[in-house]
Amino acid sequence: MKTSWILLNIVLVAAHRQVTYIGDQVLRISASSQKQLNLVKSLEQLQHLKLDFWKEPVRSSLPIDVRVPAKHVSTIKTILKSNNIAHSVMIENLQSLVDEERISTLISELRQNGTYSFNYRYYHLLKEIYKWMKNLADENPQLVRRMRIGRSSQGRAIHVLKFSTGHRRPAIWIDAGIHGREWIAPAVAIWMAKKITTDYGNDPSITTLLNKMDIFMVIMANPDGYVYSKTTDRMWRKTMSKRPGSRCFGVDPNRNFDANFGGNGSSRVPCSESYCGPHVHSEPEIKAIVNFIKKNGRFIVFLTLHNYSQRLMYPYGYTQETPENVEELDMLAHEATEALTSLYGTRYSYGSIVQLINESSGNSIDWSCKQGVKYSYAFELRDEGQYGFMLPRSQIVPTAEETWLAVKKIMEHACNRLP
């Protein structure tokens, strides 16, 4: 990683030539438009400023990291401020990093490139997430396996992380990222996957759970949609499948399941955000998930992560009828949301989809419930609409921490009721 190479370089140079970085700052710049991006690029051209880009200005959706020599810090900040270019100080005094004893451990950590140096407070690029998944499996060979269960419309791998200490056990399913624009969901799933690996062997509850059940996690169920929302249209929800005869593309994957497919609460219009698709399981991403779950046949819990609204919902969406264990589902939802709220006071409402939102046909938890998965829930994570899909990075870890408490409650309940 470039940062670690540079830091190593700085340490070596500092040791040999007494060069100092006193007062140098590393800024993270967020250009929100092509115009702003071009302005930052033009600053790079000004030689006398001696700006040292650790992350070059490439696209307006990517952060730009730059080391600014001390004497130019206030000039650069003034330029950024007066052009309304968002920026924050990542390192306030680079010399202090060089001075610290911990520099060598910092460098070795950064060089590791594994899940230990991964920034959990960031909305990553897809390829960074895929690499992280591979790292998690490589670092925990006795517990984690990364398996490809299919490919998206545009050919991207659909991976599932299998957490297992045994063979063919009752299983828990968790998926995130089915809707491109809901970035907080895969970010929370990543944090939770890491948490499972650190908790196994340390936390009695998770250790017991994993000694009796398997957990299958799809971090990114709709990679095409995620990439499109990162590069082109931040508000993109659907898949990227093409529609012959229409200029519109994409299907709402959460209307594509075989549960009252095409009914009220989904749209038959290809241009619509809730387009159900030409037929049941038309989307390869959904087909892959459905096939995997059916083939496994041992799922007891099915959880899907979305945002936003702060809701925990159980089936059904397509009908006012209730699952036969609705009282248990409701009581468990109550306990799970209480656990969630206990951490930061975030309030959730709970109930069936049709009660809380409105009718919805072809959605995943209705399908999983019909398949006999006893505990099927959909999470709508933070917030309530203030930032909505654009949830600030600072809320990623708090959201993950509180959601984890609810997820744990559901998993533990299922585990306690195993025959």
Partner 1 sequence: MYSVLCLVSCFISLNGMSQGNNLEIPDINMKLRTEARAARQAASVAIHYLNYHHGSPHNVFQLHQLKKASLEIMVNEGRKYHLKFEVRNGRFSNVTKFCTAKVLFYKKSVPDTVLKCNFKDSDGFKEDYEFYLNLRKRMDPVVGYNIPDNFGFIAPETRPIWQLAIVSASYIMWQKSTEVMKYNMAQIQEVHQQIRTDEFLQFTYIVLLHEIPSQEIITCNMWVMWQPKQSPNVKYTCLPSPTESFSEESEFGRPEGME
Please state, in angstroms and rounded to a whole number, the distance separating the CA atoms of residues 58 and 56. 6
Q: Does 383 bind partner 1 (CB under 8 A)?
A: yes
Q: Does 395 bind partner 1 (CB under 8 A)?
A: yes
Q: Does 358 bind partner 1 (CB under 8 A)?
A: yes
Q: Does 322 bind partner 1 (CB under 8 A)?
A: no
CB of 310 to partner 1, least distance (A): 11
Q: Does 384 bind partner 1 (CB under 8 A)?
A: yes
142 close to 207: Cβ distance less than 8 angstroms: no
CB of 347 to partner 1, least distance (A): 9
Please state, in angstroms and rounded to a whole number, the distance separating the CA atoms of residues 110 and 32. 28
286 close to 225: Cβ distance less than 8 angstroms: no
Q: Does 387 bind partner 1 (CB under 8 A)?
A: yes
Q: Does 69 bind partner 1 (CB under 8 A)?
A: no
Binders of partner 1 among residues 184 to 243 (CB under 8 A) are 230, 234-235, 237
Q: Does 390 bind partner 1 (CB under 8 A)?
A: yes
The mark string for 49-68 relative to partner 1 (x by CB under 8 A, - otherwise) is: ------------x-------
| 380 is a catalytic site residue | yes
How many C-alpha atoms does 326 have within 13 Å on its Cβ side?
13
Q: Name the residue with tokens 């007891």.
A: 300
Taking contact as CB under 8 A, which single stretch among the options 102-110, 189-197, 203-211, 384-392 is the one that binds partner 1? Answer: 384-392
Please state, in angstroms and rounded to a whole number, the distance separating the CA atoms of residues 148 and 371. 22
Q: Does 269 bind partner 1 (CB under 8 A)?
A: yes
269 close to 237: Cβ distance less than 8 angstroms: no
Four-point Cα dihedral 227, 220, 284, 248, nearest 10:
-30
Largest pairwise CA distance in the chain: 76
**Out of 13, 19, 89, 271, the residue judged to bind partner 1 by CB under 8 A:** 271
Four-point Cα dihedral 306, 126, 391, 160, nearest 10:
30
Please state, in angstroms and rounded to a whole number, the distance separating the CA atoms of residues 344 and 401. 9
Q: Does 79 bind partner 1 (CB under 8 A)?
A: no
Q: Which of 338, 380, 402, 412 is catalytic?
A: 380
Please state, in angstroms and rounded to a whole number, the distance separating the CA atoms of residues 96 and 224. 42
Q: Which residues of the chain form contacts with partner 1 (CB under 8 A)?
A: 30, 32-33, 35-36, 61, 81, 84, 86, 123, 230, 234-235, 237, 248, 252, 264-265, 267, 269, 271-274, 320, 349, 351, 355-360, 383-393, 395
Which positions are catalytic? 380
